[in-house]
Amino acid sequence: MEPTGRRPVSAVPQQEYLLQGSIMDNSCEVLLHRLRGLCDNSELTPENFNDYEMAYQIRGPTGTPLVLRARQALDYPGNPWHLRYIGQPEVGDKNRPTLVRSSIDVSTSKNLVQFLTELGFRLESEFVLKGQVFRKGRMKIIVAKVYQLLQQGNPKNLEPISQSHLVELSVVAPSGQDALADEVKSFAEQLKPLVQLEKIDHRRLQHI
């Protein structure tokens, strides 16, 4: 695994440009309708999804906890699992249109959980997302309800955690493509005033 010595490959780190918001359940239909009109492939029925995410954590030698997220599509049991590392989000100043965070995505086989546990990772939290996903060019828009699990490890026994749907607007791209961020921002403008998609500072949320 030495990066040197082999032929040099310029690995461009992937960045996720992200805006988040929420919509109340009773207005969700309106938003979905609007999204359907704005996004690609409006002739098809919108794509549903039902994902089960588990956050695993390990404490490294420096004491820094490292969080990895394992996801499984409950409605597509044959699909590979998805492992994701998300870096610290950079909020930046006012001029930066979106939140930027580094992201590493990898598809994995189904014994991911076992693998993580054996590496020393511990389950930190788990939840289920149910909703619809839209696409517009390279942008991905999800409107989903967040459920908590009433019983650990059983994604069938669920309870919604709020009266709103989560709305996320994101693009994953090699870093430095800041024009994309503007694209994301201008799309978010079109959803106003239904949803206020904003840069939500996750660090700030820790203290609420």
Partner 1 sequence: MDREEKALEAAIDALISRTQDVKNSLTSFLMKLETEYETINWPNVLDNFALLSGQVNTLMKILKNDKTPLLRNRVLLPLALSPERDEELVKLTENRVQAFSHEVVPDYLRTKLDPEVESVEQQILAKANLTPADAAQKQITSLNKICTNVIDLVKSARDAWESETGQRASVTQTSSMTDTNTLISAISLGKGLKPSTGPMNQASSQQGPIPQVQPSRSVSSGKAPSAVKTNIKAANTVHPYGR
Partner 2 sequence: MALSVNVSVEAAQEYQVQEITYDGQEIYTQPLSMSENLTKLAHKIDFGKVDDDDSQDHLESTPNFCGEEQKELVTFQPSLWPWDSVRTKLRSALTEISVLVDVLNIAKEKRYMVLDPVSQDPPEVKNVAILVAKKKGLVSAAAIIQKGAERLRISQAEGKNRSLSDFHLELLNMRQKWRLRKQGSLILGDLSYRSVGSRFWQNGTYEVTKSEQPNTTVTSLSPGGPQVPRPSALKVTLPSELEGNSYIHVVIQKDTETIAAGDFTSPFISPIHSDSHWMNKLEGAQNVLFCKELFSQLAREAVQLQPSIPNLVVGNQITASLFPGVQLCFSLCHLTAQDKSKATILPAPLENKAVLEHSLYQLLREHHHQNIHLPTPHPVTGTLGVSKRRQIAGPEALDRHTLMESCKTNTWLEQIIEQTQHTILRLRTMYIIDTYASENKDPLIVAHWASLSSPTCSSVKINIMTHGYETIYRTPLVIHVERKTLKAVCRDGRVMNLSYEPQELTYLLMSQVSQHQVNAVQCLAKVMGWKVLSSSSHVGVGPVEPIGNASSVVMASSTGDRVIAIRCGPQTDIQVSVSSSPQEQDFYPSTLVRDRKWQNLSGSFREVALEKMEGKNFLNKMENLMACLTTC
Closest distance to partner 2 from the beta carbon of 72 (Å):
6
**Residue the block writes with tokens 């002739």:** 43
Q: Alpha-carbon distance 24 to 45, whole Å?
A: 22
The verdict on 114 binding partner 1 (CB under 8 A) reads no
CA distance 177 to 17: 10
User: Which ranges of 5-132 would DSSP assign to H, the alpha helix?
Assistant: 28-38, 112-119
Which of partner 2, partner 1, none interacts with 99 (beta carbon under 5 to 8 A by kind)? none
Q: Which range binds partner 1 by CB under 8 A, 39-47, 71-79, 133-141, 146-154?
A: 146-154
| Residue labelled with tokens 């693998």 | 115
**Among positions 32, 46, 73, 124, the unique one binding partner 1 when judged by CB under 8 A:** 124
Considering the complex, state which of residue 49 and residue 185 has its C-beta at the smaller distance from partner 2: 49
Query: Does position 49 bind partner 1 by CB under 8 A?
Result: no
Query: What values do phi and psi take at 73, rounded to 5?
Result: -90, 110
Q: Name which of partner 2, partner 1, none residue 49 binds, using a CB cut-off of 5 to 8 Å depending on partner kind.
A: partner 2
Of the candidate residues 161, 182, 186, 190, the single one contacting partner 1 (CB under 8 A): 161
On whether the CB atoms of residues 191 and 141 are closer than 8 A, the answer is no
